[in-house]
C-alpha cells in the first residue's frame, strides 16, 4: 500500500474525541477487539495510514492469541493491501490464513471457507461481532459521503463520533448513519438520500405507502436483518422487496441474497420509515392485566 497516497485528513474536535474514546477503552482493556477495530478504521478513514496499520496489526495479534475466528475473514481482507510491501503485515496475514485453514468446518464465519476447502453453510454473526461489522459499514458510508463532498470534514467528524458512541450502547439495536443524520435533524439529509440512491443505483421509495407484511425468511431471524438495516417487506412471486438503510454497501446486498436464497429487489428508505415499519411488524408487548380478585 502506498502510504503517500492518502485521502485528505478529516479534522475537528469530534474526530479527536472519537479516537480518544477508543484509546481510553484500550488503556483499561488493551485487548478489546471492538475498540481496536474501530480505532484502526478511524485512523484509516482520516488518512493516517501508519497508525491505522499499527492498530490493525495490534488487532491481528489479539485475534491470533485469542483464536477469535469470527474476526479472521475481515482482518484478512483489510490486511492484504498492507501486506504487499510490509513484512509485519504479511506475517500477520499468513498467521490468520493458517488459523482459517486449521479451523473446524463451519468455524470461520461470514461464509468464508478456509483456502482449499469447500464453502460451508453461512454462519450468522451475533452480539459484538455483528455490531462491529455494522459499525464498519456505516463508517465506510460516512467516508464515501465525505469523498463525494456530500459532507464537510466537520460534519464527517461529528457523525463518526456519534457512530462510535453507538457501538458502546447495547440498548441501541440499530447502528445506522441515516438514523444519526435524522437524530441530528441534518439539513442536507434529502440531498444525501438522492446521492446514495443515485450512486448505488437503488430506487428510493416511501415505505409508508406500502402495507408492510411479514415474509418467509426461512431460518434467518428477522432481528438479525433489522440490526443490519435490512427489512424484507413484501413478496413478488418468489422474489423479495427489501428496504435498506445503506445500499451503497455491496457486501450486505450479496449477503442477504445468499442468506435468503431468493432474488431480492433493494430499495432505499428513510430511517423514520424503517422504524415505523418495524413498529408495525413487531408491536411492543402489552402489559399483562392484573388477575381478577378471587
Average pLDDT, the chain: 79
Q: What is the pLDDT of residues 250-292, one digit of tens each?
A: 888 888 888 888 888 999 999 999 999 988 887 665 555 555 5
**Model's pTM, two decimal places?**
0.63
164 Cα distance to chain centroid: 12
Comparing C-alpha atoms, which of 92, 5, 17, 10 is closest to residue 54? 92
Residue with cell 428477522: 222
Q: CA 42, CA 22: separation in Å to the nearest integer?
A: 10
Report CA Rg, the chain: 20
Q: Are 243 and 276 in contact (CB under 8 A)?
A: no
Q: Are 125 and 108 in contact (CB under 8 A)?
A: no
Instruction: Going residue by residue through the chain, which has 294 residues, state the pLDDT in tens, using 9 for 90 and above.
Output: 444 334 444 444 556 777 787 787 788 778 887 778 878 887 887 778 899 999 999 999 998 988 888 778 888 888 888 888 888 989 998 998 888 887 665 444 443 434 333 333 346 666 667 777 788 888 889 888 988 889 887 888 788 878 877 766 656 678 899 999 999 999 999 999 999 999 999 999 888 887 887 888 888 888 888 988 999 988 877 888 999 999 988 888 888 888 888 888 999 999 999 999 988 887 665 555 555 554
Amino acid at each position: 500500500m502506498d502510504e503517500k497516497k492518502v485521502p485528505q485528513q478529516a479534522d475537528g474536535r469530534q474526530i479527536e474525541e472519537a479516537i480518544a474514546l477508543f484509546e481510553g477503552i484500550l488503556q483499561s482493556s488493551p485487548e478489546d477487539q471492538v475498540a481496536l477495530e474501530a480505532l484502526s478504521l478511524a485512523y484509516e478513514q482520516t488518512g493516517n495510514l501508519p497508525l491505522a496499520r499499527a492498530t490493525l496489526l495490534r488487532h491481528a495479534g489479539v485475534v491470533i492469541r485469542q483464536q477469535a475466528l469470527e474476526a479472521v475473514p475481515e482482518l484478512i481482507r483489510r490486511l492484504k493491501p498492507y501486506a504487499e510491501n510490509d513484512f509485519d503485515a504479511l506475517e500477520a496475514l499468513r498467521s490468520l490464513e493458517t488459523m482459517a485453514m486449521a479451523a473446524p468446518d463451519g468455524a470461520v464465519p461470514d461464509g468464508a471457507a478456509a483456502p482449499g476447502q469447500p464453502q460451508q453453510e453461512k454462519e450468522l454473526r451475533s452480539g459484538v461481532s455483528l455490531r462491529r461489522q455494522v459499525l464498519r459499514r456505516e463508517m465506510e458510508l460516512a467516508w464515501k459521503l465525505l469523498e463525494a463532498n456530500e459532507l464537510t470534514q466537520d460534519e464527517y467528524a461529528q457523525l463518526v463520533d456519534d457512530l462510535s458512541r453507538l457501538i458502546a450502547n447495547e440498548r441501541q439495536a440499530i447502528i445506522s448513519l441515516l438514523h444519526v443524520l435524522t437524530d441530528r435533524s441534518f439539513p442536507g439529509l434529502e440531498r444525501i438520500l438522492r446521492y446514495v440512491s443515485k450512486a448505488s443505483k437503488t430506487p428510493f421509495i416511501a415505505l409508508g405507502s406500502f402495507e408492510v407484511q411479514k415474509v418467509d425468511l426461512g431460518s434467518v431471524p428477522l432481528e438479525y436483518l433489522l440490526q443490519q438495516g435490512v427489512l424484507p417487506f413484501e413478496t413478488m412471486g418468489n422474489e423479495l422487496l427489501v428496504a435498506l438503510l445503506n445500499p451503497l454497501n455491496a457486501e450486505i446486498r450479496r449477503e442477504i441474497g445468499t442468506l435468503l436464497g431468493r432474488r431480492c429487489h433493494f430499495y432505499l428508505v428513510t430511517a423514520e420509515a424503517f422504524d415505523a415499519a418495524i413498529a408495525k411488524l413487531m408491536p411492543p408487548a402489552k402489559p399483562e392485566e392484573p388477575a381478577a380478585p378471587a
